[in-house]
Amino acid sequence: EIVLTQSPGTLSLSPGERATLSCRASQSVSDNFFAWYQQKPGQAPRLLIYGASSRATGIPDRFSGSGSGTDFTLTISRLEPEDFAVYYCQQFGSSPGYTFGQGTKLEIK
Amino acid sequence: QVQLQESGPGLVKPSETLSLTCTVSGVSISNYYWSWIRQPPGKGLEWIGYIYYSESTNYNPSLKSRVTISVDTSKKQFSLKLSSVTAADTAVYYCARVEGPYKIFDYWGQGTLVTVSS
């Protein structure tokens, strides 16, 4: 089973700052099957990035994804108040199918 | 637009079977994979399994012995059954659509909290 480890667990920043979130896989994953989601309290997760670097429909261009193999990054160039949430990385592979990272909480400093 | 809505009991007794249904609207249930994902209170996301409209399935090995996912294309619904539940199965259960080429969860239901308690 591929384990995804996200860091940091909590990130405290101010609006307007740049956020860099990391996700490391225990073994190489396909870029095509790597994604990032945002989840706000009481809501379902929302797809942000797919294929490691493609923005989903309606996602602002301040969100960007990069990386390959075992190391992936989600960058938010200038934080807006609505960006403070929990972020999850996710991969799809042959076994057991899908795994998620444990999440990074982005909180207002 | 695509919408998914979970339904089912919010309280299940230990050792019994949890049963949920997801109703799909705005899109044909055919030609897509459909998935269940859960989230224990205050914790992260766990994939449960998915089904294709043709009824082929794939389950998380950690739950495989207790999970059954089925589909009813005529009703535009797919369902989850999780047997022998314990308190550890208490979670918000989400249904989601799997987008084809990238295998991403592009549409989600709002989620439904299922509590396992006597």
Q: pLDDT truncated to tens, each residue of chain B (118 aa)?
A: 999 999 999 999 999 999 999 999 999 998 899 999 999 999 999 999 999 877 789 999 999 999 999 999 999 999 999 999 999 999 999 999 999 788 999 999 999 999 999 9
Looking at residue B95, its pLDDT comes to 98
Chain B residues closer than 8 Å to A96 by CB: 47, 59-62
* pLDDT over threshold 90, residue A57: yes
Interface test with A, best of B45, B110, B112 (most A CBs within 10 A): B45
Residue among B61, B4, B2 nearest B35 (CA):
B4
**B7 near B25, Cβ under 8 Å?**
no
**A5 near A100, Cβ under 8 Å?**
no
* pLDDT over threshold 80, residue A94: no
Chain B residues closer than 8 Å to A101 by CB: 44
Query: In 10 A of CB B69, how many CB atoms?
Result: 22
Give the up-direction half-sphere exposure of residue B72: CA atoms within 13 A in the CB hemisphere.
8
Looking at residue B106, its pLDDT comes to 95
Whether residue B94 and residue A44 make contact (CB cut-off 8 A), yes or no, is: yes
Interface of A with B in 90-109 (CB under 8 A): 90, 92, 95-103
Strand pairing category for B112-116 and B11-12: parallel
**A49 near A36, Cβ under 8 Å?**
yes
Whether residue B105 and residue A37 make contact (CB cut-off 8 A), yes or no, is: yes
* pLDDT over threshold 80, residue A96: no
C-alpha span between B74 and A90 (Å, rounded): 31
Looking at residue B55, its pLDDT comes to 78
C-alpha span between B95 and B108 (Å, rounded): 6
